[in-house]
Structure 1
Amino acid sequence: MATIGFVGLGVMGRPMVANLAAAGHTVNGFSRGEASRSAARDAGLSVVDSVAEAVAHADLVITMLPDSPDVEEVALGDDGILTHIPDGADYIDASTIRPEVARKIASAFVSAGHGALDAPVSGGEAGAREGALSIMVGGDPETLERWRSVLDAVGASVVHVGPSGAGQVVKAANQLVVALHLQALAEAVVFLEAQSVDVETALSVIRKGLGGSTVLERKSDSVLAGDFRPGFRAELHAKDLAIVEASARTGGVGLPATGLVSQLMRSVIARGSGASDHSALVELARVLNGRVDA
């Protein structure tokens, strides 16, 4: 069993910490926001008051943070993880960030004698609660094997996909696919509504055929109930699609469908729904078709 410092106790981080603790690991959690720390304490998790305290006696440090600047500051800042991490401890970032930032951070940790992995996750809040996340790992394979049992406590699939940064590249591709599936669901709902077909019945049939997907399985019921409480916020998905677009430009490839859904996701934010679930694309589709008021 490992002693783990975990930084980032938000929607994804809290259930991940709970699953790590349930597996028998000692986890000291920290979050920069007081509300997140309070929610974690209310959930019965061990919460400390600083990065330094979280890291102090850790065998492994894990971060789950919103964006590249957050991870860079927490990992490499003056009072960050690299300053306090004990000799022999390793670092895993489970956030979704730019691949080049992941490579920069990994290089800094490896140069200082620590193992480092980028291990972004997919599965949303439900997957985090169930310990069923899909984890795509970039970095040294031996470091992954050292900590595979820890990642198995939060994920149903843990796959090494390449060197440092590769996990983030694969996660970007995942977010591309998820966004397109969400937009397909949104347009299917609006199409079915316009044809006076029972949407719930129709989606139940589609989910069992070639058009079925994890997106339809996890999102159809909440979309039909008008429940857009965030399992994954639209504003975060827009950030991820921006990573895809930037990486596509660097790689010299054109992704027209991705560009379109990225604009649509940003339109969801412009309507004031950035904190809603990314499935709020269906509400935008209804607005664009005049089926609800803007």
Structure 2
Amino acid sequence: MIEEASETHGKGNREVTRTFDKQTAVGFIGLGVMGSGMAHCLLRAGYALHVFARRDEAARPLVDAGARRAASPADVARACPLVFLCLSDDAAVEEVLFGEGGVAQGIASGGCVVDTSTIAATSARRFAEKLKQQGVAFLDAPISGGQQGAESGTLACMAGGPAEAVGACREVMNAFCKAITHVGASGAGQTVKSCNQVAVAGALLGVADAIALAKSQGVDPRVMRDVLLGGTARSFVLEKHGERVISGDFKPGFRARLMRKDLRIALATARAAGARLQGAVLAEQLVGELCDGGRGELDWAALGLLVQEKGAR
């Protein structure tokens, strides 16, 4: 059942947040590595799923699994009061929302758009305000957990926007998230995601240096890693990405070019607020070297490889 939960008003238009459940037709736009996994989770959970993708090879596995393929984002929105996005950058989100045949041309008042992309907080706030004029709620809800988390439904989501909208979407989002945290008003989700990227990039720099130091002293880096995992240096980055660096396995995962994009968003956000980040500046420079050197399609953990290469010069 879909129930009306709350109302807010803006310029004479009504924005209604509704509770979405298994009876709700759900849309998904953006069927890359992350989006495809999330969309499959929704199908496995029993939701009637409508998808849009420009490339047939992106849509076909989902259609074969039971999704309906729409001709445009607007068509997805006409069929679905709840639409998820998982796109590459701000420009892609804006085009899908407000371009010709975009979501805004099809979604009805009382609907909700949940953007799981990683974009700038300023863009998220601007998109939220534009959709509000149509009576449509918008959540900036970036996710963390990588391809494996998307496929297994164990992502963590940091959601910015109206608390009522987060509550209304929670049941559906549980199909691909193990944790959904409302972190504040519009844009807050993207800010927290930037904090996440800054933190993990700094952690990987430390792990890469530790591996380089162990090797320089003739210590087996795997033995070193095992010891550190039993003490205060234990972290997800050491456990997962440290093993990637040691074994040289840089199959994505999360591509280096996307981490560069995310770090640039974080740095721009900080600069606009007058904050001066330190470790993130170095991480962005090094990830940039990877990308400029033709390795942008590798997993971003290849940053650890670059650290070792530079240390050996």
Q: Give TM-score scaled by structure 1 length.
A: 0.94
For residue 80 of structure 2, the aligned residue among 50, 53, 58 is: 58
Aligned CA distance change for structure 1 residues 19 and 195 (closer, same or farther; 3 Å): same
Give the residue type in structure 2 aligned to 1:225. S
* Matching residue of 1:135: 157
* Aligned counterpart, 2:174: 152
User: How many Å separate the matches in 2 of 1:36 and 1:185?
Assistant: 35
* Residues 200 and 42 of structure 1, relative CA distance in 2, 3 Å threshold: farther
Maintained 8 Å contact 2:26/2:49:
yes
Deviation at 1:216, TM superposition (A): 2.0
CA shift in 2, pair 1:48/1:205, >3 Å: farther
CA displacement 1:103-156 (0-9 Å, x = unmatched) = 011111111001111100011111112211110000000011111111111111
Residue 24 (structure 1) shift = 1.6
Counterparts of residues 84-233 of structure 1 (less than 5 Å) = 84-233=106-255
Instruction: Give unpaired runs (5+ residues) of structure 1.
Output: none
Larger strand proportion, structure 1 or 2?
A: 2
Mean CA deviation greater in 80-89 or 257-266: 80-89
Q: Does 1:3 align with 2:36?
A: no
Aligned to 1:253: 275
2:297 paired residue number? 275
Distance (Å, rounded) in 1 between the aligned partners of 2:267 and 2:194:
9
**Which is greater in Rg?**
2
Q: CA RMSD in A?
A: 1.6
The answer to whether the aligner puts 1:284 opposite 2:309 as a matched pair is: no
Please, what TM-score do these two structures have when normalized by structure 2?
A: 0.88
1:79 match: secondary structure: coil
Give secondary structure in 2 for the equivalent of 1:161: strand
SS in 2 for 1:56: helix
Amino acid at match of 2:151: R
Distance 1:170 1:288 in 2: 31
Percent identity over the alignment is 38
How far did 1:32 drift?
Answer: 2.9
Cα contact 1:9–1:40 (8 A) shared by 2: no
Task: Return the alpha-carbon distance in structure 1 between the equivalents of residues 107 and 159 of structure 2.
Answer: 21
Mean Cα displacement is larger for which, 69-78 or 7-16?
69-78
Per-residue deviation, 1:290? 2.5
Contact 1:8/1:32, CA 8 A, preserved across alignment = no
Alignment: residue pair count: 291
Tell me the CA shift for residue 43 of structure 1.
6.4
Q: Separation in 1 of the partners of 2:43 and 2:122?
A: 32
Aligned residue type for 1:274: G
Q: Quick check: 2:72–2:101 contact (8 Å CA) kept in 1?
A: no
Inter-CA distance 245–32: structure 2 relative to 1 (3 Å threshold)? same
